Amino acid sequence: MTLSPREITDRLARIGRRPSRALGQNFVADPNTVRRIAALAAVGPDDHVVEIGAGLGSLTLALLETGATVTAIEVDRHLVPLLREAVEPAATVLEADAMTFDWSSLGPGPLVLVANLPYNIATPLVADLLDGVPAVERMLVMVQLEVGQRLAAEVGDEQYGAVSVKVRHWADARVVGRVPPTVFVPQPNVDSALVSIVRRPGAPEVEVDFALVRAGFGQRRKMLRGALRGLVDEEAFACAGIDPTARAEQLDVGAWGRLTACVHRPS
């Protein structure tokens, strides 16, 4: 079961609302798409799934069909009553902002994040969860295509950037599907990507100073010698075995870890 385009527009009309651009609201209105997302997330009765931006409940209903325990989080107070009407008591609905949410309130985990993430929070939310919420062991997120490509990029890919390093530091990531604009109400102007992110067990193999990573990619056309001037000296480059004439996109996570260790080595 999911909501059709007509049902979505009718429910919004009941409360005198339209999809909010500020909140990045594009509601999925296709049963095959939400069931595909649930299948790719590989969740079932043993999983506690957290859905961010549950909206009117289309994806929530597909996740419930898997037998998983579902906690649906929605920030828009106008939509929360409609979401509760659609999915409670089978799912738990929380009115909250995912960017400030107390994830510890959901217990020790493990948790699986499955969500259609708005453009404006997708990158910072994924980064913050990887950094600070180890209970979230897996994610299957639907994001704008260019965002998904950055999240999953590897060294050598055109889209490889600072967030790619962040994701690779903690997890394995890959784009597992694309979604056309036609399945949304309203239709966005771009395709979306489905990205699978699986946290590796244990601590990362290397420590990475992400201030260095951000500085390097902040001036990505410059050689590292210039982009990291004042942060990394020639001795540190030599210590890490990194050519100072290289550019940020040429360094994988291991290289950034070596550079971090050499910059912060005891004097």
Give me the sheet containing 92-95, strands edge to edge: 92-95, 69-74, 48-52, 111-116, 136-144, 192-199, 171-179
User: Tens of pLDDT along 21-35?
Assistant: 767 678 888 999 999
Report which of 37, 75, 69, 72 is spatially closest to residue 57, judged by C-alpha positions: 72
Q: Are residues 95 and 137 in the same domain?
A: yes
Residue 93 lies in a domain: yes
Same domain flag for 186 and 235: no
Q: Quickly count: other Cβ atoms within 10 Å of residue 18's Cβ.
A: 10
Does 32 share its domain with 136?
Answer: yes
Looking at residue 11, what is its pLDDT? 82
Do 32 and 139 reside in the same domain of the chain?
yes
129: domain CATH number is 3.40.50.150
- Pairing outcome for strands 111-116 and 48-52: parallel
What global pTM score does this model have?
A: 0.92
The DSSP output letter for 250 is G
pLDDT at 1: 59
Q: Are residues 225 and 127 part of one domain? A: no
| Token reading at 265 | 């080595």
Q: Is residue 50 included in any domain, yes or no? A: yes
Question: Is residue 101 within 8 Å of residue 36, measured between CB atoms?
Answer: no
Residues 95 and 141 in one domain: yes
The whole-number pLDDT of residue 251 equals 97
Tell me what pLDDT residue 29 has. Answer: 86
Do 220 and 189 have their domain in common? no
Residues 91 and 26 in one domain: yes
Who contacts 203 (Cβ-Cβ below 8 Å, separation ≥6)? none
Domain annotation covers residue 40: yes
Mean pLDDT in runs of 10 for the chain (267 residues)? 75 77 79 95 98 93 97 94 95 96 92 92 96 96 96 95 97 97 89 97 91 93 94 96 96 97 89
- 233-to-87, 112, 155, 211, 228 alpha-carbon distances in Å: 57, 42, 23, 15, 8
According to the model, what pLDDT value does residue 219 have? 87
* Segment 189-206, tens digit of pLDDT: 899 999 999 999 988 989
Burial class (CB in 10 A: 0-12, 13-18, 19+), 134: middle
- Domain presence at residue 111: yes
Would 204 be classed as within a structural domain?
Answer: no
Tell me the C-alpha distance between 231 and 211, whole Å: 9
- CATH number of the structural domain spanning residue 222: 1.10.8.100
* Helix, strand or coil, per DSSP, at residue 34: helix
Residues 65 and 154 in one domain: yes
Residue 205 lies in a domain: no
End-of-domain residue from the set 199, 228, 254: 199
Residue 149 is predicted with a pLDDT of: 97
Do residue 250 and residue 143 come from a single domain?
no
Give the chain's domain count: 2
Domain extent for 129 = 5-199
Nearest in space to 57 (alpha carbons), one of 18, 36, 31: 31
Indicate the helix (H) or strand (E) that contains 163.
Answer: helix 162-170
58 exposed, middle or buried (CB, 10 Å; 0-12, 13-18, 19+)?
buried
Please check whether residue 142 lies inside any domain of the structure: yes
| CA atoms in the 13 A half-sphere facing the CB of 177 | 16
Q: Which of 157, 179, 199 is the last residue of a domain?
A: 199
Same domain membership, residue 144 and residue 85? yes
| Whether 28 and 143 share a structural domain | yes
Of 8, 28, 191, 185, nearest to 116 by C-alpha is 28
pLDDT at 105: 95
